[in-house]
């Protein structure tokens, strides 16, 4: 199981990384978190082991979106000085969550609510949090924003040559694979800080 986990972590950047590079930050982020919330429902009503395991797996898969994307989102909006505070806040929530989970979970399970309410409680609290985030968080990824701006300007000015710098690059499956699949590997080999981060995590 741990080997399987290592393998999946190895190919992990494939999923959310390229998505956020092409579609910006907010769309993959809220797509992922929304589906995370949705997959709490089959867990809450599960009647078989298979349902529980599958819904848990997909909840984890889609729940990983904020972990992968929020770091980039903070880079988009914050100065390097503020980044430190934001990242510590973010990592705090990432690490306090799993620590608080069993405490809250056993509290719910041993109360009259029962184990199914661990899923419902998660759904009840994460859905408003997600909705609030959705309302306050605009797209922040600069290339995507400039593409939108260019598209708007094209229709306003009827000057169809206007474009964002990032639109000059053709995005297809090939470039996605060559650029984003090999980049993590290249960086692990070339950048010492990435290697150290990898060893620590």
Partner 1 sequence: MTNIASQTTFTQDRFSPESIAPLHPTPNMSSIGTTLDGEKMSANDQSPTSSIHDIDEAIPKSLEAGGLGSSNIDFEKSGLNHASTTAVGGDEEEATIEEQMQSQPPADPKIVTWNGPDDPENPKNFTWFRKWLIVVSTAVMTFWVSLASSIFSSTVNVTAREFGVSSEVMLLGVALFVVGFAFGKSRIQTLSILLL
Least distance between partner 1 and beta carbon 60 (Å): 3
CB neighbourhood size of 59 (10 A): 21
**Interactions with partner 1, residue window 84-103 (CB under 8 A):** 86, 89-90, 92-103
Contact set for partner 1, span 138-177 (CB under 8 A): 138, 140, 142, 145-146, 149-150, 153, 159, 161-165
Burial class for 109, CB neighbours closer than 10 Å (0-12, 13-18, 19+): middle
Q: How many Å apart are CA 44 and CA 169, to the nearest integer?
A: 45
| DSSP codes, 61-119 | HHHHHHHHHHHHHHHHHS-HHHHHHHHHHHHHHHHHHHHHHHHHHHHHHHSTT-THHHH
- Give the footprint of partner 1 on residues 13-52 (CB under 8 A): 13, 15-17, 20-21, 32-33, 36, 40, 48-49, 52
In the bound state with partner 1, the residue whose beta carbon lies nearer, of 78 and 176, is 78
Per-residue interface string for the shown chain with partner 1, residues 98-127, x marking contact by CB under 8 A: xxxxxxxxx-xx----xx--x--xx--xx-
Q: Is 79 in the site for partner 1 (CB under 8 A)?
A: yes
């Amino acid at each position: 199981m741990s080997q399987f986990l290592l393998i999946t972590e190895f190919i992990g950047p494939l999923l959310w990384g390229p998505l956020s590079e092409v579609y910006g930050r907010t769309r993959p982020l809220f797509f992922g978190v929304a589906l995370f919330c949705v997959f709490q429902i089959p867990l809450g009503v599960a009647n078989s082991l298979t349902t529980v395991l599958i819904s848990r797996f997909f909840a984890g898969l889609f729940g990983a979106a904020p972990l992968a994307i929020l770091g980039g989102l903070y880079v988009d909006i914050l100065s390097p000085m503020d980044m430190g505070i934001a990242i510590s806040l973010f990592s705090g929530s990432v690490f306090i969550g799993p620590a608080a989970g069993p405490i809250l979970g056993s509290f719910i399970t041993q109360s009259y609510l029962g184990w199914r309410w661990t899923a419902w409680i998660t759904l009840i609290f994460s859905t408003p949090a997600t909705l609030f985030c959705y309302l306050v968080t605009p797209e922040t990824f600069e290339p995507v924003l400039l593409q939108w701006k260019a598209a708007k300007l094209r229709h306003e000015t009827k000057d169809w040559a206007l474009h964002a710098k990032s639109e000059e690059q053709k995005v297809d499956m090939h470039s996605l694979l060559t650029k984003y699949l090999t980049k993590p590997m290249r960086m692990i080999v070339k950048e010492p800080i990435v290697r150290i981060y990898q060893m620590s995590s």
